[in-house]
């Protein structure tokens, strides 16, 4: 993990995450999402009624980002976290 967007969920910069490869996820799951086939990000998923997807950071200093569903590809879902000491 690079960055501090998920620190309120206990996921810190430098942590290693284990991702179960899937192309779908439920609301509230923490996912790896590929945005516009370019940028991969780890965020909490929210599927909206209007067909858009909101990727929610777990850091109150950062804002959620919404995208048309076709711009977001779910790569997998967080299943475990490893931290080096």
The CATH code of the domain that includes 46 is 2.10.109.10
Is 69 within the bounds of a domain? yes
- Told to judge if 43 belongs to the known catalytic residues of this protein, a careful annotator would answer yes
Residues 37-55 pLDDT 10s: 999 999 999 999 999 999 9
Is 61 within the bounds of a domain? yes
Tokens 């000491």 identify what position? 85
Residues 52-81 pLDDT 10s: 999 999 999 999 999 999 999 999 999 999
CB-side exposure of 30: number of CA atoms within 13 Å?
19
Residue 85 predicted with pLDDT over 90? no
Count of domains for the chain = 1
Is 74 within the bounds of a domain? yes
Query: Among 2, 43, 60, 80, which one carries the catalytic annotation?
Result: 43
Domain limits for position 63: 7-82
Is 1 within the bounds of a domain? no
- At 82 the pLDDT is 95
Q: Average pLDDT of 9-37?
A: 96
Structure pTM?
A: 0.93
Is 2 within the bounds of a domain? no
Asked if 59 and 6 count as a contact pair (C-beta separation under 8 A), the reply is yes
Query: Among 5, 21, 66, 80, which one carries the catalytic annotation?
Result: 5
Kindly give, in sequence order, each residue whose CB lies less than 8 Å from that of residue 61, ignoring residues fewer than 6 positions away.
none
* CA gap 70, 12 in Å, rounded: 29
Task: Supply 30's token pair.
Answer: 């923490």
Residue 46, CA distances (Å) to 13, 16, 82 in order: 23, 23, 25
């Amino acid at each position: 993990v690079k960055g501090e967007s998920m620190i309120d969920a206990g996921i810190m910069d430098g942590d290693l995450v284990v991702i179960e490869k899937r192309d779908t996820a439920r609301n509230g799951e923490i996912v790896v999402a590929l945005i516009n086939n370019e940028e991969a990000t780890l965020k909490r998923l929210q599927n909206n009624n209007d067909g858009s997807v909101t990727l929610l950071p777990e850091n109150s200093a950062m804002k959620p980002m919404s995208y048309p569903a076709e711009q977001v590809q779910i790569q997998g879902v967080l299943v475990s976290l490893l931290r080096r000491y």
